[in-house]
């Protein structure tokens, strides 16, 4: 019976103030070896009705230290997130380069944006009039991608295209319906990325099409979000698509 009792883990004994004081007396170098602990201690200066200047300075320095520590942790997290983003973008770029047809380009794009980047909906509209160019879409998906540039349903997007850069935010119901069809009502925020043709310049661009990325989260693509990644994505996707349609525009 006694052996079973001895095998039970014992609670660590609580140290009283006298024991702690004796330990510190015998180990005066403790705080030199553990400066982080010293920095967290709150030692009041013994002045009646007043706070010493030194104590106020120490309190201020501790608060500044906490803020700097938080900022550093945030910067480290941002760096880690950027590393992941760059890795995923690299993987997507390789997948687009390996695609052997326009259909494979779209599948690679859709798989990556949904799987790696958490998109809830992905749509590409290419400004190609198949009736005039003779292009034969090889499946139903391709038939929904090709739209003539003079399609009146694109009127709601011409101002966006005129900005020549990605635009994020909330779309109107008719715009959502055009881009996302049956799932339009579920899309709460959208990123629209213009796709440039082969004659883009700082002053003009013969647009190849537009990429729409939808999210169920209304805060995912807000108006103040950074668009560098989306711009890079638009350039990479444009180059992947261009060989299949550039001669047909």
C-alpha 113/C-alpha 110 separation (Å) is 5
Pairing mode of beta strands 121-127, 146-147: parallel
Q: Is 138 exposed, middle or buried (0-12, 13-18, 19+ CB in 10 A)?
A: exposed
- 46 pLDDT band (50/70/90 cuts)? low
Give me the pLDDT at residue 22, please: 83
pLDDT for 91: 92
Region of poorest pLDDT, from 36-40, 100-104, 159-163: 36-40
- Position 95 pLDDT exceeds 50: yes
Q: What is the pLDDT of residue 41?
A: 66
Residue 85: is its pLDDT beyond 70? yes
Tokens 């990556």 found at = 112
Residue 127 has a CB neighbour count (10 Å cut-off) of: 21
Identify the residue with better confidence: 112 or 81.
112
68 vs 225 pLDDT, higher one = 68
pLDDT band at 203 (very low <50, low <70, confident <90, very high): very low
- Distance, in Å, from the CA atom of 125 to the CA atom of 144, rounded to the nearest integer, reads 8
pLDDT of residue 17: 81
Fold of domain 100-248? Beta-Lactamase (3.30.450)
Residues of the chain with CATH 3.30.450.40: 100-248
State the pLDDT confidence band at 248, using cuts at 50, 70 and 90.
low
């Amino acid at each position: 019976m006694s052996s079973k009792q001895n095998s039970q883990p014992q609670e660590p004994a609580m140290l009283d103030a006298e024991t702690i004081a004796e330990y510190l007396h015998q180990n005066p170098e403790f705080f030199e070896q553990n400066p982080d602990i010293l920095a967290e201690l709150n030692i009041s200066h013994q002045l009646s009705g007043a706070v010493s200047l030194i104590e106020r300075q120490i309190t201020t320095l501790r608060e500044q230290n906490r803020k700097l520590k938080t900022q550093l942790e945030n910067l480290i997290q941002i760096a880690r997130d950027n590393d992941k983003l760059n890795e995923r973008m690299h993987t997507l770029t390789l997948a687009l380069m390996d695609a052997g047809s326009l259909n494979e380009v779209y599948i690679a794009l859709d798989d990556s944006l949904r799987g790696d980047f958490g998109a809830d909906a992905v749509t590409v509209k290419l400004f190609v009039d198949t009736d005039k160019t003779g292009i034969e879409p090889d499946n139903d998906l391709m038939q929904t991608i090709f739209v003539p540039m003079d399609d009146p349903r694109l009127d709601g997007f011409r101002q966006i295209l005129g900005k020549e850069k990605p635009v994020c935010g909330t779309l109107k119901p008719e715009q959502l319906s055009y881009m996302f069809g049956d799932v339009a009502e579920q899309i709460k925020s959208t990123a629209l990325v213009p796709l440039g043709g082969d004659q883009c310049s700082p002053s003009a661009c013969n647009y190849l099409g537009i990429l729409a990325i939808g999210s169920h989260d209304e805060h995912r693509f807000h108006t103040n979000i950074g668009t560098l990644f989306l711009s890079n994505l638009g350039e990479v996707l444009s180059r992947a698509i261009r060989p299949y349609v550039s001669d047909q525009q």
